[in-house]
Amino acid sequence: MRVDIVSIFPDYFAPLDLSLIGKARGSGLLDLAVHDLRTWTSDVHRTVDDSPYGGGPGMVMRPEPWAAAFDAVARPESVLVVPSPVGKPFTQAAAHELAALPHLIFACGRYEGIDQRVLEDAADRMPVREVSLGDYVLFGGEVAVIVIMEAITRLLPGVLGNADSLTEESHAAGLLEAPVYTKPAVWRDRAVPEVLRSGDHGRIARWRRTESLVRTATRRPDMFAAYPGEQLDKKDRAA
């Protein structure tokens, strides 16, 4: 997968050299470039913003540098992703959709946002997805892009050693995962649940399933309500 990130703070993306994302880049599974939006300014001050029409606080990003940036990085197969508090919620399902695409362009807005015409104009040449991480406001899209890239990169084939970690994890099946434990078996008077040390794989699977349902029902009633009833079997209902 190819990714181009455009931002006025390219230094924000240093963490994308690290850990498993850095490894995915090193092995060629992820081809990622970060660009400074000011590369595409044409005045001496390298201006990217101006005051909002209609008045109000703060500044708005001007359209010209963004259009020049897209001219430089867009490909026939590009999809533009714009992190924004007014976007659609970013979910694990959205991560899967984006991970299946050949080319993503991320446009990181700052200040009060990007002139709306930039997104309209871009939509004439490529699909545009405005996505939000949640109901709170960040300074800009940079940290959101790091979050989204982490969610996407771990879904790319070959990035995770054990593909089971994808099918078993929280959100994969619309439920939260059960708690996990490792050695020592007893720590500060707290024992690991006996069932997990029983070696009885049937009992272990049943215990995890129940914990998963109880966790989801108590912590995420919204997610539990959306869970299809036909996937609850007799033993689930009994538990």
Residue 69: which residues within 8 A CB-CB, separation 6 or more? 6, 35, 37, 39, 40, 107
Stretch that binds ligand 6GU, among 16-24, 64-72, 80-88, 171-179 (CB under 6 A): 80-88
Are 92 and 171 a contacting pair, CB within 8 Å?
yes
Quick one: which of 181, 177, 185 has its CA closest to 219?
177
59 touches ligand 6GU (CB under 6 A): no
Contact yes or no for 131/145 (Cβ under 8 A): no
Residue 75 vs 88, nearer CB to ligand 6GU: 88
Helix (H) or strand (E) holding 119: helix 116-123
* Nearer to ligand 6GU among residue 34 and residue 94 (C-beta): 94
Residue 166 CA to its chain's centroid (Å) = 15
138 makes contact with ligand 6GU (CB under 6 A): yes
Which residue from 21, 24, 95, 141 is in contact with ligand 6GU, where contact means CB under 6 A?
141
6: which strand partners?
Answer: 35, 107
Based on the shown chain and the rule CB under 6 A, indicate whether residue 137 belongs to the binding site for ligand 6GU.
yes
Q: What whole-number distance in Å separates Cα of residue 96 and Cα of residue 130?
A: 16
Please, what is the minimum distance in Å from the beta carbon of residue 6 to ligand 6GU?
A: 14
Q: Which of 41, 78, 84, 153 binds ligand 6GU (CB under 6 A)?
A: 84
Contact flag: residue 132 with ligand 6GU (CB under 6 A): yes
Please report whether residue 10 would count as binding ligand 6GU according to CB under 6 A: no
Q: Cis check for the bond before 184: say yes or no (omega within 30 of 0).
A: yes
CB of 96 to ligand 6GU, least distance (A): 18
Residues near ligand 6GU (CB under 6 A) are 83-85, 87, 131-134, 136-138, 140-141, 144
User: Which residue positions form the known binding site for S-adenosyl-L-methionine?
Assistant: 109, 133-138
